[in-house]
Chain A
């Protein structure tokens, strides 16, 4: 069974600084997707970024980028120029091709210090 591990329950970062959230996963599949979702206090699940396992290039969305290490089964999220609106719970998630289940990590609560 696939598992996703987020080892940092809480992180904090100074506004305008850079922070990296860690995620590791375990799978025997070769084709899969990885996601980072943001959950602000409104509880809405918002997709931040996704990565296809077959792509070697790391995904980037504005201030958000990932470091995808397929062999190490690692998928970290880097947030540059942190803003107050980035404060939220962040979930790493995995889905294999042809499977409808998203497997989530336990989340990392990110606090932005003004």
Chain B
């Protein structure tokens, strides 16, 4: 089944403790993105990647890092999480000529 898989689905952590949210897609898509969803703000892009080793900032990159060492994986790294990073996170992918993005199931992150 074609899908984008995020892990974990839920995470509660403490301020300053480094964490990684994984994202993997099995559709051989070149383009991948991370978004965060906050009430009243919709979804906002954090980072995106056009291919292996090619990444760039989205609208809200502060406090996040990404890497794209393999085509299928695009992990989101929070090196020192803070409470304002409490949010619902989505990974998405699409092929270069594809119109729509395919989304993962979401990761609910709470930083206390």
Residues in chain A within 8 A of chain B (CB atoms): 4, 33, 35, 42-45, 47, 50, 52, 91, 93, 100-102, 104-107
Contacts and interface: CB of A to CB of B under 8 A. Distances in A.
Interface in B17-50: 31, 33, 35, 40-45, 48, 50
Interface stretch (B62-70, B71-79, B99-107): B99-107
Most buried by B among A44, A45, A104, A107: A45
Contact of A47 (B59, B100, B106): B100
B42 A104 contact: yes
Contacts of A45: 90, 92, 103, 106
B45 A33 contact: no
A91 B103 contact: no
14 contacts: A35-B100, A42-B105, A43-B88, A43-B105, A44-B105, A44-B106, A45-B106, A100-B50, A101-B59, A104-B42, A104-B43, A106-B41, A106-B42, A107-B42
